Amino acid sequence: MSDTPVIGFIGVGLMGHGMAKNILEGGYPLVIKGNRNRAPVEDLVARGATEVQTPREMAEQCDIIHLCLSNSPLIEAVMGGEDGILAGAREGLIVVDTSTADPTSTARLAQALGEKCAHMVDAPLGRTPKEAEEGTLDAMVGAEDAVFAKVLPVIACWAGNINHVGGVGAGHKMKLLMNMIAMSYAALYAEATVLGAKVGISPQTVQKVIGSSRLGNGFFDTFMEYTVGRNKDAHKFTITNASKDVRYANAMAAEAGALSLIGAATRQYFTHVEAIGHGEDYVPWLSDHVGRLNGVDLEDEVRKGS
């Protein structure tokens, strides 16, 4: 690897665009592979990035490749095949998977890279596209110590809170724990707010009392920014992605032989919203779906509480 490594980035969408932009601003040469949405690709090219057509081309040109994709099947597709990263991987290549992925898949891909004398790092994200643009995301990193030292300056371009949580795969496991907690919070906040409305406590009162107590937190604030403030962009994380994360967490629990009653119950809410065709809704909108299941129009309850 040169003194200034060439960085590749696949998945320059809602989160990836800001991350890639901050890598460029950190002084690193950047190679990207776009998708159907051309706007973020063209913006990054205008800022100095180079575009390639295949993951294999990227692997042949880059020292460190970032992935920011929706799920493990997509990651495996980008890694495999005659035009995949593995086909172009050379000794010393590092793949940093910032997606929220299945740790079992991560282990398989790490082994495949190891056979090429290349390395896998899992560095899933916390926070939102706003922090991605600002370069202040959370990162929980799974990597060997020596490899972590090599990628740390690059991760520091897009993350403000970086935790090295263990070896390869530990990052994805930690992220599943985090998202199981977060999505269980979402289900609980929705249930409690709707129950409050049914017994005469307005959503505004729930927001004020809980938000100013020891139970308040940043996730509660953004959840209620939609539920009460009706800001649809308060937390741009889709039900589909949340549902996938909770499924992966439940699968991890099953593989470990661990009891996961709350995680299993949380999964049902997200599976339900996907099943009725609203998977592209954002997570805080879950409150409206729970409201409808209980015969409550939360938007109307907010108006009445004003």
Residues known to be catalytic = 175
First to last CA, the chain: 60
Q: How does DSSP classify residue 28?
A: -
Neighbouring residues of 209: CB distance < 8 A, sequence distance ≥ 6: none
With the CA atoms of 74, 75, 76 and 77 taken in that order, what torsion angle do they form, in degrees rounded to the nearest 10?
A: 50
Within 10 Å of residue 81's Cβ, how many Cβ atoms? 14
Partnered with residue 67 across adjacent β-strands are: 10, 97
Dist. CA 123–CA 250, nearest whole Å: 20
CA torsion through residues 23, 29, 35, 40, sign: positive
Partnered with residue 164 across adjacent β-strands are: 141
Within 10 Å of residue 29's Cβ, how many Cβ atoms? 18
Q: Of how many residues is the chain composed? A: 306
